[in-house]
Amino acid sequence: MEKVVEHTRSVSIGKVESVFKLQKDAFNRNPYPSLQERLESLKKLEQLILGNQKYIAKAISEDFGNRAIQETKIAEIYGCIDEIRYTRKRLKKWMKMQKRHVPLLLRGVKNRVLPQPKGVVAIVTPWNYPLLLSVGPLVSAISAGNRCMIKMAANSRALSALLHQLFNRFFPEDLVAILPEVSATEFTAQAYDHMIFTGSGKVGKMVMRRAADHLTPVTLELGGKSPAIICGDFDENIAAERILSSKFFNAGQTCVAPDYLLIPEEKLSGFLESSKRLVPKWYPSLNSEDYTSIVDEKAFNRLNTFLKDALEKGATVLPLLDVENNKGLQKIAPTLVLNPTEDMSLLREEIFGPILPILTYRNLSDTIDYINSKDRPLALYIFSSSGEIQEKIIKSTMSGGVCINDCAMHVSQADLPFGGIGASGMGQYHAYEGFLEFSKLRPIFTQAKKSAAVPLRPPYGQRFDKIFNFLLRFKL
């Protein structure tokens, strides 16, 4: 048995190396794909997704145990198509050589910037939105003219196998390759020209260390504990619907899901009443196909351990469905946790499940201090009708992104970049910023027929001093 395992691993390593060499050689033959080539690749990607929606949704649901088809359609299929179409419409403009400022003293000179492809890009994808988080970076990377190798999560076995077949049908392997059954360690060993990883901070650090061996630039999307703040001027009933629908979408297995709620003491009872009314209407039972399963037994047990820890340490645990968590279905009821304390796992770790800790506050400044005492989150959710309050919170905190009076909607906007900061990641993709992330902005200086620098060359003397002093006084 050990020999078989070792043989399988060596074959996978060999496959990664061979595909990397294949793509590197192809890039060297065509280091600047034309606009038409890039548009054609994006068109094929759109056709691949649209023509196989049913199979994609079925594969994702199989990997989860159960995932609502509608959640896959709106969050992943539509999200991918929207980004592809947005990019295709604007790519010609993005690719243009940019003219830059030239000082008056250097008349005749040209300063320009050309966005050029970096080369071979590695995309390491998580299981929670496996299509969106593969295709999103892929759109940015191939629009920038790169070639891409994609490693999907072990929990995405059915989708990985399907996409492997589909991409082989639509794309040559030297342009885009899905590599199933390959570990992150094996996959990240190559000297890629850029690497993007979406997942946990722990694995993200490992990926960054591997990239450092080759000085490969990295984009990291890492998640974290994203807070939602309901301010005193906002209707808690409206906030409850928006926060909870986002939190329990995909059973909370979303990197930008609100991870905890900060709410004024006087608004808590209204929020709880709305929660008890809304959630049973959305999900009448755990058997509902509209309610997604926890991805595997390990994750299910982890979330139950969080709840047990909170109970034992004195928190109030409030399930919003009158049922017990179902291990067979791997489903955990939408749950609120009141009065959590800092020693509880729920406040120390990213939850990644349908559990929402709720903290009450009296002073908004205290909530800002509390948020700033933690790692910088991937998202921040502000519920307030006051522009002054919104601005105060935004300018007093830092996060990957901000959403005002809703949750997670900023991620679905094709013209907004998406990325973290600090413990929640680095770099960004989507929109024009995604194109830039996977491009080398190459500065190009073209000298005039007569160089203005000649008087500044040796032998130095009074002429140099006069010109130098003039330059210091000269206003551009």
Active site residue 62: no
Write out the E strands in 247-326: 258-264, 316-319
d(CA 179, CA 156): 12
Q: Do domains 2-222+428-440 and 226-415 have the same CATH topology?
A: no
CA 241 to chain centre: 24
> Residues 221, 236, 350, 437: which is the catalytic one?
221
> Residues 148, 255, 403, 407: which is the catalytic one?
255
Cβ(84)–Cβ(44) below 8 Å: no
Q: Say how many C-beta atoms besides its own lie within 10 A of residue 348's C-beta.
A: 13
Q: Strand, helix or coil at 195?
A: strand
**What are 9's two structure tokens?**
């691993």
Ramachandran category for residue 233: left, alpha or beta (phi over 0 → left; psi -120 to 50 → alpha): alpha
Check residue 276 and give its pLDDT.
97
pLDDT in tens, 377-390: 999 999 999 999 99
Ramachandran category for residue 32: left, alpha or beta (phi over 0 → left; psi -120 to 50 → alpha): beta
Cβ(136)–Cβ(429) below 8 Å: yes
For the chain, domain boundaries:
2-222+428-440, 226-415
Name 88's Cβ contacts closer than 8 Å, sequence gap at least 6: 39, 42, 43
The low-confidence residues of the chain, meaning pLDDT below 50, are 1-11
Phi/psi at 439 (nearest 5 deg)? -115, 150
**Position 400: which residue type?**
G
Task: Kindly provide the b/e burial profile for residues 25-34, where b requires at least 16 CB atoms within 10 angstroms of the residue's own CB.
Answer: ebbeeeeebe
**Position 309: which residue type?**
D
Residues pairing with 110 in the sheet: 446
Q: Please name the residue that has the structure tokens 């071979």.
A: 120
Q: Please name the residue that has the structure tokens 């489903």.
A: 331
Check residue 468 and give its pLDDT.
86
Cβ(236)–Cβ(267) below 8 Å: yes
Q: Strand, helix or coil at 449?
A: coil
d(CA 211, CA 232): 46
Phi/psi at 403 (nearest 5 deg)? -130, 125
From 3.30.300.30, 3.40.50.300, 3.40.605.10, 3.30.70.20, which CATH number describes the 2-222+428-440 domain?
3.40.605.10
From 3.30.70.1140, 3.40.309.10, 3.40.1050.10, 3.40.630.30, which CATH number describes the 226-415 domain?
3.40.309.10
Check residue 7 and give its pLDDT.
33
Strands 425-426 and 218-221: antiparallel
Residues pairing with 319 in the sheet: 335
Active site residue 255: yes
Considering Cα of 16, then 19, then 25, then 28, what sign does the dihedral take? negative
